[in-house]
């Protein structure tokens, strides 16, 4: 069966360091992969999308890589700030519509001042 794995343990890092979150998947051939941010008591907010034929995407301090051979995506936040503290969700989508998007359980990031 399809499976998306994100580290369920919280990631604690020092302010200014680079945070790296991992999303692994099995039995899946995604057309694209997304990363969302979710704050406590709020809905997810879209951050970045990377397609299957792309290796890397950047947006300001965010960088996403996508390795379809390893079946893994890495999400990096450089120069992390306490305001980056949140839960980050990865989501995979096959072709055929957003209703087929599958979400991971998320990794909680805590940036320590």
Partner 1 sequence: IAGITQAPTSQILAAGRRMTLRCTQDMRHNAMYWYRQDLGLGLRLIHYSNTAGTTGKGEVPDGYSVSRANTDDFPLTLASAVPSQTSVYFCASSPGLGSTEAFFGQGTRLTVV
| Binding site residues, partner 1, CB under 8 A | 4, 8, 32, 34, 41-46, 49, 89, 93, 97-99, 101, 103-106
List Cα–Cα distances, 77 to 25, 28, 41, 86, in angstroms. Answer: 21, 26, 22, 12
In this complex, which beta carbon is closest to partner 1, that of residue 15 or of residue 103? Answer: 103
In this complex, which beta carbon is closest to partner 1, that of residue 77 or of residue 89? Answer: 89
Whether the Cβ atoms of residue 88 and residue 36 lie closer than 8 Å to each other: yes
In the complex, the smallest distance separating the C-beta of residue 99 from partner 1, rounded to whole angstroms, is: 5
């Amino acid at each position: 069966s399809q499976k998306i794995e994100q580290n369920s343990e919280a990631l604690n890092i020092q302010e200014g360091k680079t945070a790296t979150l991992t999303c692994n998947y099995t039995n899946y051939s995604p057309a694209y992969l997304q990363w969302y941010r979710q704050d406590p008591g709020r809905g997810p907010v879209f951050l970045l999308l990377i397609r299957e034929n792309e290796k890397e995407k950047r947006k300001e301090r965010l960088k996403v890589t996508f390795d379809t051979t390893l079946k893994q995506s890495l999400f990096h936040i450089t120069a992390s700030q306490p305001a980056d503290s949140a839960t980050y969700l990865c989501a995979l989508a096959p072709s055929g519509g957003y209703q087929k998007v599958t979400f991971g359980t998320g990794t909680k990031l805590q940036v320590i001042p």
